[in-house]
Structure 1
Amino acid sequence: MQPPFMRLMLREAILRLRSNGFSILALAMKAKYDELVGLTNMTVFAIDDVSIFSGSHSYINNVRFHIVPNHYLTSSDLEKLPAETVLQTLQRS
């Protein structure tokens, strides 16, 4: 059984993303819900719908590339990282 907090957090994130111009990301997260709900936390690098539609249509399949599992990184944390930093994503390759 998954922690209720993560289920609630994911539902809230999906709702907020959908209502703020990130509906494709919200859909991708909903499609990958079973994979995401087992995490303790995550950092998501969100791409807005306009940017997605001007590029590739494979975003839902590639959403794992945009999620850093079990790490909550603030913008301040990211700014402190060296330029060469590689963050491990759900994609694993």
Structure 2
Amino acid sequence: MAPVDAPAPARRAEKVPQYFTSEGNMRVQFLGKDPESEHGQSPTLFATDRADRCTYIVQGWVVTDRQVLAEIGPVPDGEAVIEIPEESSAILPAA
């Protein structure tokens, strides 16, 4: 199993480092991945460089269970319901 990278330090949207920005295109910084996943597999967490708010990108398992999706309700276009293990939440910086 590949070693897990240490989480990046907490950040706030107003303190976005300059190296994140590139001609108006959003960039991401790898924060870490589920230690139980094999190399190249999900879930993986990234921080974005959005200046207007602090956001994260989560790569996980797409939920296809009809009962679960019925309980969640309508999912707007452009959104997806994903699942990540509890251990992955430890990678996110504290609020």
TM-score (norm 1): 0.28
TM-score (norm 2): 0.28
Larger RCO: Structure 1 or Structure 2 (Cα < 8 Å, ≥ 6 residues apart)?
2
Q: Which has the higher strand share?
A: 2
Q: Which has the higher helix share?
A: 1
Structure number with bigger Rg: 2
